[in-house]
Amino acid sequence: EQYAADAVEAPDDADPSGDAGYQPVVAVVGRPNVGKSTLVNRILGRREAVVEDVPGVTRDRVAYDAQWAGRAFTLLDTGGWDPEAKGMAARITAQAEVGVAAADVVMFVVDSTVGATDTDEAVAKLLRRSGKPVILVANKVDGPSGEPDAAALWNLALGEPFPVSALHGRGSGDLLDTVVAALPTAPPESFDDADGGPRRVALVGKPNVGKSSLLNKLAGEDRVVVDAVAGTTVDPIDELIELGGWPWRFVDTAGIRRRVNEASGAEYFASLRTAAALERAEVAVVLVDANEPLAEQDLRILSMVVDAGRALVVAYNKWDLLDEERREQLEREIDRQLVRVTWAPRVNVSARTGWHVDRLVKALDTALEGWSQRIPTSRLNAFLGQLVAAHPHPVRGGKQPRIMFATQADTRPPRFVLFTTGFLEASYRRFVERRLREEFGFEGTPMEISMKVRE
């Protein structure tokens, strides 16, 4: 009995940020090779393969959950493309812009052994204009003899340079203290409106699937409101679009409307934009071209939504071009490849003709509802009690792990904590998830199930 009471009050692995809908974002920007990924690894406290020895290799992940001194934040790694690519300086500024747009705090990394370059100056200028808190990281100060190089970076006019060695860890604790101190304590204003204000939607998908066409169709000829979010020229532009009688906030639509023109690295850049938009959204519409086989990039974008814990609607566009043969192919593809997101509402649309775009609203509502749904502890335990009795975990090594108690620790997205006697195998956890969905719905939302094993 005591066990259960404690569990409700303090599940240890509940999200420390409380409201899962918002977590402050820290973007790491800077030229290639200044040590951004090394710094990200240092902050994450692990040596995961974020550092790429091969230039031009795109990194799949750009957003990471980080923690320092009890504060949780999202770390946005904006590195990861080919330093030899053409239009380098423009691209670095554009990358910094995305970082700034998404971030509450920017870490600007400069290689102190090289000093401030023209590109660094250009980025610094952009950062000063942004009005966002900027922490100037003077990296590669591996020992005291490097301190004067760091001090020379005062001339970037971004305040005090923090001498660090991302590689060896020197100064990184002080740096993180400063980062955490700069984090906002309350969500930014656009997040205050989760109850009552416009819901925030990210419209994402690989290039040419029809994002800007759909946005134009939804906004209509006479746009209801065009809302340039107050502040600065580099802030993302959200558009308020009325659908089904309510205004919806489509976040970071500037990313859709203004194309960044580049050959190599385009895909990486697109995924950075996607990550940034997802950070600010509650629900994502992932747009897919129904006439093309599902690509790696489509699947990666879907995974990004799931990993970001956002509600999800999958929209198949260009339905006007579809023939019977392709339609059958598509159904098979979906069965095979979208197993990870079978719970996502699906809409078939044509952004060109406007066919069925009105159905998006219902799908968005459904997904947001699932995302916010909370199951009372008593109901949850009554259900799981029956489930476990009817379908016990297989006996392993003479023992049978059992679910003693469960609680939904969080919503947006739903997170469940199972208190167990022994480790539940992955297949059994998937089974529990499937049955939870069958019983309670949770349509359109990823779901997290964690375990606390009683020793």
Query: Can you give the binding site for ligand GDP, defined by CB under 6 A?
Result: 30, 32-38, 51, 79, 139-140, 142, 165-167, 205, 207-213, 256, 317-318, 320-321, 350-352
Minimum distance of ligand GDP from residue 160's CB (angstroms)? 18
| Ordered DSSP codes for 58-104 | PPS--EEEEEETTEEEEEEE---S-TTSTTHHHHHHHHHHHHHHH-S
> Which residue number, 21 or 79, has a Cβ lying nearer to ligand GDP?
79
The DSSP bridge partners found for residue 63 are 76
Q: Is 79 part of any known ligand binding site? A: yes
Structure tokens at 160: 């005090």
Helices and strands, counts by H and E, the chain: 15, 16
Minimum distance of ligand GDP from residue 267's CB (angstroms)? 13
Cα separation, 437 vs 381, whole angstroms: 15
Q: Is 319 part of any known ligand binding site? A: yes
Residue 85 near residue 55, CB atoms below 8 Å: no
> Which residue number, 36 or 200, has a Cβ lying nearer to ligand GDP?
36
> Which residue number, 259 or 430, has a Cβ lying nearer to ligand GDP?
259
Nearest CA-CA partner of 318 in 359, 288, 345, 361: 288
Q: Is 142 part of any known ligand binding site? A: yes
Minimum distance of ligand GDP from residue 27's CB (angstroms)? 13
Q: Is 30 part of any known ligand binding site? A: yes
Torsion sign over Cα 319, 324, 327, 333: negative
Q: Is 33 part of any known ligand binding site? A: yes
Structure tokens at 358: 């009105």
Minimum distance of ligand GDP from residue 140's CB (angstroms)? 4
Nearest CA-CA partner of 372 in 275, 315, 445: 445
Residue type, 311: A
Q: Is 41 part of any known ligand binding site? A: no
* Residues sharing a CB contact under 8 Å with residue 7, sequence separation 6 or more, in sequence order: 405, 407, 417, 419, 452
> Which residue number, 223 or 352, has a Cβ lying nearer to ligand GDP?
352
Minimum distance of ligand GDP from residue 210's CB (angstroms)? 3
> Which residue number, 354 or 441, has a Cβ lying nearer to ligand GDP?
354
Q: Is 37 part of any known ligand binding site? A: yes
> Which residue number, 217 or 393, has a Cβ lying nearer to ligand GDP?
217
Binding site, annotated residues = 30-37, 77-81, 139-142, 205-212, 252-256, 317-320
Binding site, annotated residues for GTP = 30-37, 77-81, 139-142, 205-212, 252-256, 317-320
